[in-house]
Every structure is written in structure tokens, then in C-alpha cells.
Amino acid sequence: MEGIADNLKKKLFNEKQIGWENLKDDCINDIMEFSKGYMSFLNKAKTEREFVAEAIKLARENGFKDLMEYASLNPGDKVYFVNREKSLYLAVIGKENIADKGVHIIGSHVDSPRLDLKPNPLYEDTGFAFMKTHYYGGIKKYQWTTIPLSIHGVLVKANGEKITINIGENENDPIFTITDLLPHLADEQMKKKLSEGVNGEDLNILVGSIPFETEEKISEKVKLNILNILNQKYGIVEADLMSSELEIVPQFKARSLGFDCSMVAAYGQDDKVCAYTSLKALMEIDNPNNTAICILSDKEEIGSMGNTGMESHAFDFFVSEILNKLGINKPNLLDRVFCFSKMLSSDVDAGYDPLYAYVSDKYNAGFLGKGISLNKYTGARGKSGASDANAEYVAWVRNMLEENNIKYQVAELGKVDIGGGGTIAYIIANKGADVIDCGVPVLSMHAPYEVTSKYDIYSAYRAYKTFWLK
Ligand code: MN
Ligand code: MN
């Protein structure tokens, strides 16, 4: 029985319900179907280069053309710009004047924590061939031993010939792994701090053990055999590894998680979950009022530096080229456009994990299954380095979500002074746009296998679509 106080509580309290409760069957069906598409995309796109390639394919199927193919632009046109195969910017030109209304940006990143091969990776030691790696992004090193790994990336010969490599994903492919010590002999290791149990320098993948067949007395026959295999398969020599970008990623496939199949377990969901949901939403935007821009950036996990990272001016060039091709560009217009723009920085949030509850303030944490998670600010130690969204803008986003019945929560990344993090939010905010972090809560973030809720994935897709249609 509902009393007066109960009703008053419902009216006054900010209580977020689990999204799955009281959902209609067709709604559950939509959520499950959407996640199927997401999981199959993830299996094809484990690295930034693969994600960008798949995104271009999808965009072209949906009427997008390379910005350079257009001499001039008009409302309704759909364009993209590929930045060195590793980041991608897409836009649907709106009806409103960009100079007055700015643009509506959703920005995510398509790089994920992993192990990169060193420039001189291959060596032989006591009958084994190994490849040395340098980890990329924030990882807990012990998580990357004794799991199946695959190799993805490109190798460019000095003559410019580019070879794309993907070994380990196909059922008939071999996989690779990093060994760990047996518990019987691990007394010393087990007494170390967790962060020191596995050395970064020892994250070497095991790649072979058969010596090259010969009567001659030569050294490094196992290494020779591996190089011979690579030479026969790809026509490469050891020196070609110096000009390569080969990434070691978990071989795991994306799968439904739980008896109820309510969650997704997969590698690289930070931040491909936000990249995929925003990309899918953009594919369904036709003739928007405001110009819709989707950023899929690279190098977020190592600070967004370099010409494919968000700090690069390549994005400014993209927007400038749009202004040029609309025939409205003039000095300082780009600054004006950014100052009138709005952005959702679509990156994952740390989901509340009951097993590690002590790191979260449960009143200000993002929960799996309660919808998209807004972070007004990130940063660490007194909001340091944070892009703190303005209250006016948070209200604008709230209103948009509430009007469209999209479940959301406003959260922080962990308890005060316990850690922190950042996204690409500050980079676009520094240009003058209103920005808030707005993404999917994740468990086991940066681990080889990350967990999200299918409810939140679908909420993100709906939120992003609504933002661009506003
Ligand atoms: Mn991220
Ligand atoms: Mn991350």
C-alpha cells in the first residue's frame, strides 16, 4: 500500500531504479538484438585500425563519402575524414548555420590498453623464441599472463608495401601466450606487491620452439625458423619489424555474460562500447537541425598526444574544411564555432563493483544497469586536471534525457583521493565547447576481459541519437 510519505519520497528523492525492471518484452528484445550487433562488431575490430576500417565500411554503406570527394557541402550531406587509418571524424551537415549554432559533437576513442611489439622484438633463449613487448596504456601486468593472445596490426616494408596482419582470431590460427611461474616455485613472487609480481620487461610472448632443420652448426636456429616462416608467409625479414605497429590483444571473443545474458564480456570495451553506440546512432541521423559530428580518436589511453590523438590539430582541420566547403569560412570562425558547440565526451565510467566496494562512494558511483553515466568532472586529488561541466549544460543534458525517457545517472570515478582519470573531454572544452563525460559503466576496466550491461549499451545508443536529433 502506498502512503502519503511514500509518494512524497518518490517525488522528492533522486532514486535511480534498475533499468531492467518493468521493461516491456519488445524493449528487452531491442536491447538484446542491439548487443548482438555490438558483439559481432567487436570481434572484427579489436584495434584502432580495425575499428576505423570497419567504421568506414559501415559509413559508406550508409551514404557517407570522404570529405575530399566533395567540392562543396549542403545540409544533409554525410562526410568523413580518415586520419592515418587510426582515427576517424564523421559529420552529417545540419540545417542550422554552424556559425551561429555551433556543432553537436560526440567523441570517443578506439584505442584500448594492450601490448605493443618492441621495434626489435624477436629473440631466442634456450630453445624458445620470444617476442618482446612494451605495454600500451594502464594495465595490471599480471592479468596479461597465461591467456590466449593474438597479433594484429601492420608492417610496412622500406619500399612502402604495407602488410596487414591478424593471427590468432581464426579457429585454425595458432595463438600466443605469456607464461607465468608455477605456484610450487612462486613463493618469492607471491610475497611481492601485486604491482611487482610480473615485470613489464618480462611481458614477452612465446612464439616458437622448433629449430631450423640443418646439418650446419649455427646459433639461433629457432629464431631462424620463425623468421623463415614469416618470410614465406609475408615476404618479410627481421628488419621489417622495425617499421611495424603490431599489437598483442586478448584472443577472447565477445560473449553474453550471465545466466540471464544481461551483460557483455569482451576485450576493448573501453572505449569501443561508446565508439560503437555513437557510430550506430550517427548512421541513423538524416537532415539534423544542428551539424552532427562523431569523433573516433586514437591514443587516448596514453594521453591523446601525437597526430592521431585528440590533441592533434587534425580535428580542427576537419571542421575548417567543412566550413570551407559550406562557403562560410573566414578568420576566427573556427573559434566561434567551438564556443557555440556542445559535446558529449563518450567514454566509459568505472562501474560500482560490490567485490571492491571500498573504492567507490556508493552515493556517487555509476551502477551497471541503471543507464548511461554522466561524469560532471573527472580528474584526481581535488578535481585536478578536470574539465568540470557547467551546471547550465548539465541541466540541458538532463532535460534532453528526461524528455526522452532515457535512464541516466550522474557519477564520480571512485572515492575522493583514491585515484582518478581523464578523457578527451578537456581537449574540446579547452576549445570553448560545452562538454560533459557521458558513457557506459564498466567492470574490470582495462583488463583483458571487461564487463558492461546490455541495458546501458542500449541507453548510450539512444542518448547519443537523441543528442544529435535535438
Ligand atoms: Mn576510455
Ligand atoms: Mn581507458
pLDDT at 188 over 80: yes
Gap from CA of 427 to ligand 2 centroid (Å): 16
In this structure, the chain runs to a length of 470
CA of 240 to the centre of ligand 1 (A): 31
Is 80 exceeded by the pLDDT of residue 311? yes
113 band by pLDDT with thresholds 50, 70 and 90: very high
pLDDT of residue 119: 97
Predicted confidence (pLDDT) per residue in 250-265, tens digit: 999 999 999 999 999 9
Residues 383 and 326: their CA atoms lie apart, in Å, by 40
pLDDT at 251: 98
Phi, psi of 225 (to 5 degrees): -60, -40
Decide if 105 contacts 433 (C-beta within 8 A).
Answer: yes
Distance 26 CA to ligand 2 centre (A): 33
C-alpha to C-alpha distance for 86 and 470, rounded to whole angstroms: 29
- Cα of 350 from ligand 1 centre, angstroms: 10
Tell me the CA–centroid distance for residue 122 and ligand 1, in Å. Answer: 31
Measured distance CA(106)–CA(128) in Å, rounded:
47
- In the structure, what pLDDT confidence band is assigned to residue 217 with cuts at 50, 70 and 90? very high
d(CA 382, ligand 2 centre) in Å: 21
pLDDT > 70? residue 178: yes
CA distance 28 to 32: 6
Segment 381-403 shows an average pLDDT of 95
Instruction: Kindly give the distance from the C-alpha atom of residue 282 to the centroid of ligand 1, in angstroms, as a whole number.
Output: 20
Distance 191 CA to ligand 1 centre (A): 32
As a whole number of angstroms, the distance between CA 452 and CA 272 comes to 11
Alpha helices in 156-206 (DSSP H): 187-191
| CA of residue 429 relative to chain centroid, distance | 20
Q: Which three cell numbers stand for residue 146?
A: 597465461
Sign of torsion over alpha carbons 190, 191, 192, 195: positive
> What local confidence, expressed as pLDDT, does residue 1 receive?
61
Tell me how far the alpha carbon of residue 439 lies from the centroid of ligand 1, in angstroms. 9
From residue 435, alpha-carbon distances to 68, 301, 339, 381, 402 in Å are 28, 19, 11, 21, 18
Cα-based distances in Å from 36 to 32, 56, 269, 373, 452: 6, 20, 14, 22, 13
Q: Which residues on adjacent β-strands are paired with residue 265? A: 255, 451
Average pLDDT, the chain: 97
Measured in angstroms, how far is the CA atom of residue 300 from the centroid of ligand 1? 7
Q: What domains can be seen in the chain, in order of their start residue? A: 4-112+267-469 (3.40.630.10), 114-250 (2.30.250.10)
Give the residue-averaged pLDDT of 286-291.
98
Identify the band that residue 139 occupies on the pLDDT scale cut at 50, 70 and 90: very high
Q: How far is the CA of 21 from the centre of ligand 2 (A)?
A: 30
Element (H, E) at 297: strand 291-297
259-284: average pLDDT: 98
Secondary structure class of 344 (helix, strand, coil)? strand
Distance CA 151, CA 4 (A): 62
Distance 446 CA to ligand 2 centre (A): 6
In the prediction, which pLDDT does 26 show?
85
Tens digit of each residue's pLDDT (9 = 90 or more) over 393-402: 999 999 999 9
Which residues hold their Cβ within 5 A of ligand 2, which is an ion?
270
Residues 362-377: what's their mean pLDDT?
96
Ligand nearest, relative to CA of residue 347: 1
Average pLDDT over residues 70-75: 98
Residue among 464, 455, 441, 469 at smallest CA distance from 345: 464
Reported as a single tens digit per residue, the pLDDT across 11-35 is: 999 988 899 998 988 899 999 999 9
d(CA 381, CA 164): 43
Closest listed ligand to the CA of 109: 1
| Count of other CB atoms within 10 angstroms of residue 335 | 11
Phi-psi region of 22 (alpha: psi -120 to 50; beta: other; left: phi over 0): left
The upper half-sphere exposure of residue 452, i.e. CA atoms within 13 Å in the direction of its Cβ, equals: 37
Beta bridge partners of 79: 65, 91
Which ligand has its closest atom nearest to the C-alpha of 297?
1
88-97, 297-306, 322-331, 381-390: least confidently modelled range? 381-390
In whole angstroms, what separates CA 331 from the centre of its chain? Answer: 34
